[in-house]
Amino acid sequence: MKRSKTSKAWMREHLADPYVQRANAEGYRARAAYKLMEIDDRDRLLRPGATVVDLGAAPGSWSQVAARRCGGGGRVFALDLLPLDPVPGVDFLQGDFSDDGVLAEFERRLGGDRVDVVLSDMAPNLSGVAAADQARSIMLCELALEFAVHHLRLGGHFLVKAFQGEGFVAFRQEMARHFLVVQARKPKASRARSAEVYLLGSQPRP
């Protein structure tokens, strides 16, 4: 009964959310699109002609933003374990990006090029056990960081969602080992009560 009431309250809040309403009106698959747009408006990550990788892309709102902002000359790759309905201008690869076979197929499609931007808005499936969920979240961040380190060009950018809690400070320090500049971003579209924060790594270290 309690869970049912909580679910109904969440649904009411969700449907009343102005970013949800805006996403529905403007054709974006999730309100998360506006988080990326706000960060990009500030930091200018998604430039015309850029090569972008969206890790954990489903349902695809970040890929939509990247494809629209990078233009016809850009290349946007989306990777996810889950299926993804086609997004115009996006090359989707289903599978675990940390799997050697999936990684090899991605690199084949990339054709030996380097990447301008790696995006990760991934979050684990929540178990309800806070410590376990936080550990899984940090693990996803670490996997995304490893991917970025191996594929970004010098001057590239890595944007990753992380949750403040156990392991967050250590992960930020690990990012600082690989990027000259690491900054935190909390876009307005991110709910104030949420522990999520976006870490932006710029200028990969040689």
DSSP 12: H
Residue written as tokens 């449907």?
A: 15
- 5-14: b or e for each residue (b if 16 or more CB lie within 10 Å)? eeeeeeeeee
Residue 197 CA to residue 187 CA, distance in Å, equals 8
d(CA 186, CA 191): 9
CB 59 within 8 A of CB 29: yes
Q: Any idea which residues carry the catalytic annotation? A: 161
Q: What is the DSSP letter of 175?
A: H
